[in-house]
Structure 1
Amino acid sequence: MDDANALRGEVVLVLEGQSFVLRPSYTAIIAMEQKTGLPLINIAQLAEQAALTLEAQAIVVTELVRAWGREAVADEYASAGEKATLTAAKHANVDSIGALLFDVGGMAVQPRIAIVLGRALTGGCLPSGEPKATGMMTTGIPVAD
């Protein structure tokens, strides 16, 4: 359940032995931009330069984890651990994520943030986080029946 889907632009970030899926979504990007006061391109550039503040890292990771948690569904076969991970993702908060990031160190986290934000910038996904269709072209205009 905690596997990242690269087609959706997701990456996994491991903090204190727990895997967190970072999912870029329209909602997550808007929340990041509002909370940091920076546009997505600047946040991505800072991550690429390893220059994000710890607070900005915590905001970005929290919003990306929440984006995954909002859409992930635990089926009837999910283990108690998987259900707990999903609940934690849905209710992630900046303070708890920030403390985990501090323990790991920003230099270990910023490359993962840079990857996921770089994917978001290249537009490989729809606003919902679903992958865009690729390699298919329609020669005619679709007509309703």
Structure 2
Amino acid sequence: MPNVRDWLPPLRAGRQAAGRAVLGWSEDPGAPRICRVAGAPGSGKTHLVTWPATAATTLGAPAGHRPAALLPGAGVSLDAAVWLLAEQLFLGSRTPAELLAELGRDARPRLILLWDLDRAAELVAVVRELVAPLLALPHLRIGLWTEQARRVLNAY
């Protein structure tokens, strides 16, 4: 396995410890399946959630660090979110039900990173019909940052 310093892109402004915690979470099978990143506006939450994806595409990065799918939530509708995830996961799903059924049949562990869901065009639909059911699939690990989506999820 390559030395971590050989393949990780830099994290600045004192975020190195948080970045290592996110990477540690992503590779620890005993860690909680959901990693929520929280902080004040402008503190770098989006950068911290997207950093593992950047790190995983760096030359020399171990395959185990690569997320199976990324969902930048800003402006997405429910249909767009389903399409983006299905495309990255090499699935033919067109609806949330189809995507969830296909993922339910394929129990391979997968890491999915979501961010900016607060800015989704259809926040409630994306969270209730897609994100919450994804969180119920035990073989998926979900890294997300969103305050408003957290409030919607907590309403369940």
TM-score strictly above 0.5: no
Higher relative contact order (CA 8 A, sep 6+): 1
Structure ranking higher in strand proportion: 2
Bigger Rg, structure 1 or 2: 1
Give the structure-2-normalised TM-score.
Answer: 0.23
Structure ranking higher in helix proportion: 1
Give the structure-1-normalised TM-score.
Answer: 0.24
